[in-house]
Amino acid sequence: RKPNVAILGATGAVGQEFITLIEERNFPFESLKLLASARSAGTELTVCGKTYVVEEAKPESFEDVDIALFAGGSISKTLAPEAVKRGAIVIDNSSTFRMDPNVPLVVPEVNPEDIDKHKGIIANPNCSTIIMALGLKPLHDLSRIKRIVVSTYQAVSGAGKEGIDELTNQTKAHLAGEEMEAHILPSASLAKHYPIAFNVIPQIDVFLDNDYTKEEMKMVNETQKILHDDSIQIVPTTIRIPVYRSHSESVLVETEEPVSVDAFRTACDAFPGLVVRDNPAEQVYPMPLYTSGQNDCEIGRIRKDLYNERGMNFWIVGDQIRKGAALNALQIAEYLIEKQSF
Ligand code: 2RA
């Protein structure tokens, strides 16, 4: 049977991508409810040719809902348990429950076996974690990963529609010789904001006591949970760059045994959701301008560490709103529907 579906956060960047993907993938639903904050209630949105009026999200909104797609945000903390209480399975893109031992944290191509362990909530990992995990898993299957050093180059879409608008407005202002105004990045909650146009900002979200940011520690903690191995050492630097939609990541991995470039490239070729774009002689490598709007992540610049035979470098790029958020969550829902386990 088809599920009764609700989308919480339907008017935001991720919510809008849920709708686009539902139409693109002919995602099966019996009924659809679009939910948002009181501020956005009343907005009319069209899905599969039918017009829906966005309703204010309340606990009772989840009566008779089988699968609830939560686009993200702190509202998950109060509404996810209310939805579960009413029989819904919540697939939550916020960070609220990701490290909860009772909540599976899932990239469907990497750890699908965790989906069935849910107790009502399934957490969608952070976008930079999802994209990196797609490159890690084929290597981890060849030889267990021991240590990862990663630098990310993250799109402004990670900061939502406001982040996208800020890049546009600052670029226009700069090119017109005007002052650039900054209100959103590195994080709206912080005292200081910096322009992202023609700049990079080595901070995403707030700093913690260990001088790593929340975004960086998400990559550490979530990757260890997804790969079920908290002995894996991960040293991240997450950076905001003036790109609209795709995150790019430079990853150096040390494995237990040496792995050849050919073996890793072949494994990536066979890995679902991953496309190998790797031919230096022809200047072929992934770039965010070309991965945006597509479902697959692209991997390239695959090469051995210059000094350590157990080291492998790669460059991986993926659309932050699609695979980094909405698509990953929808694929989890498709798994539940295929198994009729909702
Ligand atoms: C970002 N990963 O890129 C965070 C949240 N989407 O801003």
Distance from the alpha carbon of residue 307 to the mean position of ligand 1, in angstroms: 33
Q: What single string gives the DSSP state of each residue in 130-188?
A: HHHHHHHHHHHHHS-EEEEEEEEEE-GGGGHHHHHHHHHHHHHHHHTTPPPP-SSSS-T
Looking at residue 56, what is its pLDDT? 97
| pTM recorded for the entire structure | 0.97
Q: From the alpha carbon of 159, which atom of ligand 1 is closest?
A: 7
* Ligand 1 pocket mutation pick from 129, 154, 247 by most atoms within 8 angstroms of CB: 154
CA of 309 to the centre of ligand 1 (A): 33
Q: Which H or E run includes 239? A: strand 233-240
Task: Select from 152, 203, 215 the residue to mutate for testing ligand 1; criterion: most ligand atoms less than 8 Å from CB.
Answer: 215
- The sign one gets for the Cα dihedral 116, 117, 122, 128 is negative
Quick one: pLDDT at residue 260?
Answer: 98
Nearest partner of 159 among 325, 30, 309, judged by Cα: 325
**What residues line ligand 1, using a CB cutoff of 6 Å?**
126-128, 154, 158-159, 204, 215
What are the E-state strand segments in 171-232? none
Task: Specify the DSSP class assigned to residue 245.
Answer: S
Ordered mean pLDDT values, 10 residues apiece, the chain (342 residues): 97 95 97 96 96 97 98 93 98 98 98 98 98 98 98 96 96 98 94 97 98 98 98 98 98 98 98 98 98 97 98 98 97 97 94
pLDDT at 59: 97
CA dist., res. 263 & res. 224, Å (int): 24
Residue 134 alpha carbon to ligand 1 centre in Å: 17
Q: Is 12 annotated as a binding residue?
A: yes
DSSP characters over 265-322: HHHHHTSTTEEE--BGGGTB---HHHHTT-SSEEEEEEEE-SS-TTEEEEEEEEETTI
Which pLDDT does position 213 carry in this prediction?
98
> Which is the closest atom of ligand 1 to the Cα of 155?
3
pLDDT of residue 72: 87
